[in-house]
Amino acid sequence: MTVESKAKRKARAVRIMAILKKTYPNARIALNFNNPLELLVATILSAQCTDKRVNMVTEFLFEKYRTADAYAAADPHVFEDEIRTTGFFHNKTRSVIGAATRIAKEFKGKVPDTMEDLLTLPGVARKTANVVLSGAFGKSEGVVVDTHVSRVSQRLGLTERKDNAGDKIEADLKELVPRQDWIDAGNMMIWHGRMICTARRPKCAECPLNKLCPSAFKASDES
């Protein structure tokens, strides 16, 4: 088996990004939001949950809770019931209320706009921080890596990392993708993972990347 050099992998990554841009010219975050706080809350709720379900829940939440102070003052038991259908509602309640409390006390009620500060918020890791920075502030401090991006980048051979290595996969992608494309890369790969490179029965015959993908027609179903 021929080992791909870093230079060739980077060149292939550039071609992949170009094709994805043509395929998903309007790729964007599927979560509904109007401001950084709403995006932060929606992203926390989206863990292990579909964006469609989150959008159904946040339609009510965003009307009731309009500030960090409002979330910080929420009754945890009531809030758990309000987000129950998103799953893992105990942990998500702690994260949302905890993050809002810190935002209210330490950041004057404004969601911080740096990676360093966002990572100080309860329940916020790099994936959530990258979503907020890119979606709410237009900042490219990294590449959003969720389950779709992990799967797609692994199948495309853009990383050799295994599952549950989001930060390491992000580091690999940042080496291959120009910084100006970091925001688009995450969004496009998420859409590609939803539409074509699905966990079960990937649509390799329809994939515009199949000639650049070492896993084309060989990817096995994943749970």
First to last CA, the chain: 27
Residues 73-82: tens digit of each pLDDT? 999 999 999 9
Residue 223 has pLDDT above 60, yes or no: no
Cα 195 to Cα 187: distance, rounded to the nearest angstrom: 12
Q: Which CATH fold would you assign to the domain 6-28+143-206?
A: Endonuclease Iii, domain 2 (1.10.1670)
Average pLDDT over the chain, rounded to whole?
95
Options 2.40.160.40, 1.10.3720.10, 3.90.1150.10, 1.10.340.30; CATH for 36-137 is 1.10.340.30
Catalytic residue, chosen from 146, 172, 181, 184, is: 146
Is-contact 118 132, C-beta < 8 A? yes
- List the structure tokens of 137: 């502030």
Neighbours of 16 (CB within 10 A): 25
**Greater confidence, 206 or 221?**
206
What is the reported pLDDT for 144?
Answer: 96
Catalytic residue among 92, 127, 181, 184: 127
Domain extents in the chain? 6-28+143-206, 36-137
**Lookup result for tokens 């159904």:** 56
The pLDDT of residue 90 is: 97
Residue range 91-105: mean pLDDT, rounded: 98
Share of the chain above pLDDT 90, in %: 92
Q: Give pTM, 2 decimals.
A: 0.91
User: Does 44 score more than 60 pLDDT?
Assistant: yes
pLDDT of residue 162: 81
Which region among 45-59, 84-98, 152-166, 202-216 has the lowest average model confidence (pLDDT)?
152-166
- Strand extents, DSSP E, the chain: none
For the stretch 129-159, pLDDT in tens is: 999 999 999 998 999 999 999 999 999 999 9
Position 222 scores a pLDDT of 52
- Residue 146 is a catalytic residue: yes
Check if 92 is active-site: no
At residue 221 the predicted structure's pLDDT band, cuts being 50, 70 and 90, is low
pLDDT > 90? residue 45: yes
pLDDT in tens, 158-172: 999 886 788 999 999
User: In whole angstroms, how far apart are CA 151 and each of 109, 163, 193?
Assistant: 36, 8, 7
Cβ-contact 151, 193 below 8 angstroms: yes
